[in-house]
Chains A and B, each alone.
Chain A
Amino acid sequence: MMTVVTGGSGSGKSAFAEDKILSFGPGKRIYVATMHPYDEESHKRVVRHRNMRAGKGFETVECYTGLKNLDFSEDGGVLLECMSNLAANEMFEEDGAGENTVEEIMEGVKKLKSQVRHLVIVTNEIFSEAAAYEGDTVRYLEYLGKINQSIGKMADEVVEVVYGIPIWHKGGKGVENAVEQL
């Protein structure tokens, strides 16, 4: 089972994704953390997420770049959070994939999906606003958009979390209402 959880900033995506993994019942739970903390704000963010996960039985694996190098031989659930950070790291960090970001990440996702029983990926809706961007930011939007489309295609479920309320775009509770998905 593969689930993609998307939504805006501060919308309750993480809480939903954690609950999703817990709903699969007992078993090994791995949290793949992709945020590279570099300042006080990002450290605080990491601490907040750690506190949210505390007591839920997650083992944390940090992965800032090179998702395809991770190996999970054990049967269990993996929660990857967040694709928007991973894509930015691959694009902008020195050891990142640069212009091959989309291909490298998708190779990693395919491997991950083949190795674990339950895969939940948190990504981000950053595509609806008035500001116009140039250069690297536009390329970042393009790469993340392409990755989101690819993981959406692979996934059994795609859910957008709006202020904690799940809106199913694929699978899940919305399946009976869904129009044909192209």
Chain B
Amino acid sequence: MEMIIGGAFQGKSAYARETHPEVDWKNGADLEKEDLMTADGVLDFQEYIKKELKADQDVTDLAEELSEKNPDIILVSQEVGYGVVPMDAFDRKYREAVGRVCTSLAAKCSKVTRVVCGIGTVIKNA
């Protein structure tokens, strides 16, 4: 498994497409769970988590399930936890869930790249 992470509008998707031209990228916002479990690569993975939470789905075991069923997936996800704690309860739940799920996934990844200003820095290469 591999992850490409970073803040909003840093060029994560462009970096992903460039470094993995063979991948048929799906978009997290409109992905059903069964599609996630078979996808080669997913852009905006954080939007998948948001969609699940909005539908009252529990994402506690998502990292475990995904790594079991789709261990070679490439995930592109936005880091959303670098601001002031939001006033809105759902926003707080969402940013926390993205953090927890992605922390679990990063532990299972062989490679994690962080994109800042379009530049990818490999922060894990196991």
CA distance A140 to B107 in the complex (A): 33
Interface bits B88-125 vs A (CB < 8 Å: 1, else 0): 01001001111110110111000010100000000110
CA distance A140 to B85 in the complex (A): 12
Tell whether A11 is near chain B: CB-to-CB under 8 Å.
yes
Tell whether B43 is near chain A: CB-to-CB under 8 Å.
no
CB-based nearest A residue for B7: A128
Question: B98, A128: Cβ atoms under 8 Å?
Answer: no
Q: How far, in Å, is A109 (CB) from chain B's closest CB?
A: 22
Tell whether A94 is near chain B: CB-to-CB under 8 Å.
no
User: Which residues from chain B contact A133 at a C-beta distance below 8 Å?
Assistant: 84
CB-based nearest A residue for B107: A164
Interface residues of A in 5-27 (CB under 8 A from B): 7-12
User: Which residues from chain A contact B98 at a C-beta distance below 8 Å?
Assistant: 10
Q: How far, in Å, is B17 (CB) from chain A's closest CB?
A: 22
Interface bracket on B: 20 to 34
Tell whether B79 is near chain A: CB-to-CB under 8 Å.
yes
User: A130 and B8 in contact (CB under 8 A), knowing A11-B103, A125-B82?
Assistant: yes
Interface residues of A in 112-143 (CB under 8 A from B): 125-131, 133, 137, 140-141
CA distance A165 to B124 in the complex (A): 7
Interface residues of B in 1-57 (CB under 8 A from A): 3, 5, 7-8
The listed residue (B83, B89, B95, B106) touching A163 by CB distance below 8 A is: B106
Interface size (A, Cβ < 8 Å)? Answer: 23
Question: B106, A9: Cβ atoms under 8 Å?
Answer: no
| Interface Cβ pair total, 8 Å cutoff | 71
Question: A167, B100: Cβ atoms under 8 Å?
Answer: no
Question: B84, A163: Cβ atoms under 8 Å?
Answer: no
Q: How far, in Å, is B5 (CB) from chain A's closest CB?
A: 7
The listed residue (B79, B89, B92, B97) touching A8 by CB distance below 8 A is: B79
CB-based nearest B residue for A84: B85
User: A12 and B103 in contact (CB under 8 A), knowing A127-B82, A129-B84, A163-B5?
Assistant: yes
The listed residue (B79, B96, B106) touching A164 by CB distance below 8 A is: B106
Question: B81, A9: Cβ atoms under 8 Å?
Answer: yes
Question: A10, B95: Cβ atoms under 8 Å?
Answer: yes
Q: 24 pairs across A/B with beta carbons < 8 Å?
A: A9-B85, A9-B99, A10-B81, A10-B97, A10-B99, A11-B99, A11-B103, A12-B103, A41-B89, A41-B92, A125-B81, A126-B82, A128-B83, A129-B84, A130-B83, A133-B84, A162-B79, A162-B106, A162-B112, A162-B114, A163-B102, A163-B106, A164-B103, A165-B123
Extra contacts, 18 of them, besides A12-B99, A162-B114 (Cβ < 8 A), are: A8-B79, A8-B80, A9-B96, A10-B95, A10-B97, A10-B100, A11-B99, A12-B103, A41-B92, A126-B83, A130-B8, A131-B83, A137-B84, A162-B5, A162-B112, A163-B5, A163-B99, A165-B123
